[in-house]
Structure 1
């Protein structure tokens, strides 16, 4: 499970074909990526700071002192508890200021605006798509073969490639990235020889991915188009 070899295999009769070279690789490892995942960056995991919880109600509050065990400390602690409860019981200064409460709290500060927020902006969609494409374990097989004649002599070499496209229908741009990587890697291994690209591609003839395989171009207005400013395309 999750080995990357699902739907990927290749076989040929050795009496008819001779293999010159066979490349088996994880497709996402055939290029250098412009991004790094947290695992690659080896970032230490930050521990969340534990916030000190304040008492929800003064009746369950107990003010403690460093020397509460002493008589003087116990008396001071009791006095602070009584003062806390007394201040929170009612408006004790209402006889001076009828409309004023005993304790006035400042209003909460307004949330920071997007212009003044110190929080780092979220990464772009292209970076997220590249990370999704990088994590796929799907394997690719490219074989350089020679067809053998009856006398044992070989003919013109050719290459065969097979791949199982990730079922990333929710991320068409990631499928575009893998389609582009597949064509580049297969052409690199073929070294100019005739190339047969086959496999389970999970797209139909009227899709932008199929057009990318046939013409090496894609419609810029398509949802599957990836701007290659940060990617390996």
Structure 2
């Protein structure tokens, strides 16, 4: 997924402004040599643990991942101060007064923004959300974007077979915010097997979301958009 979407679908078709090798070398951590052991600069190599402490080891991993979000945000803030770019764990587009929004990831977000622009011209208060960090899940940052919406659509490009909803990210949102007051979430699956998704397809997804929100027909069912022979 990283190589396919991160390189083939995004970097080869969208302009990228590269800051340059010198800037990169200034920012990245300095390489730690593994040629010698230094007690003042401890490193971990080939870590294993015995059954007696395996559970505690996995617990420490879980807590470390939970706390990593703050470090991610701090690193992003530092990068922004130095180079004028900040990305955050989530990104919103036209969310200030949005009534409906669709959440997507990676290259889909660009077309979602174009779809929002088209819908705004028609008077639809649409917005778009990009989930940039998936684990740890940025629940507080995302909640601030979705809490005032009338309806939220979530587009997944993978299927969690045998689950309802079938979209992994939609399922995560429903479980994460089960005790909070959130808008109805409509799960979509699209783009499986590199099935082409054009701007008009994203506009159509917004229209489906709006129709279902207006008729109070949003439920846990996943809508498989773009399947041949299935009309939504």
Q: TM-score, normalised by structure 2?
A: 0.25
Tell me which structure has the larger Cα radius of gyration.
1
Higher relative contact order (CA 8 A, sep 6+): 1
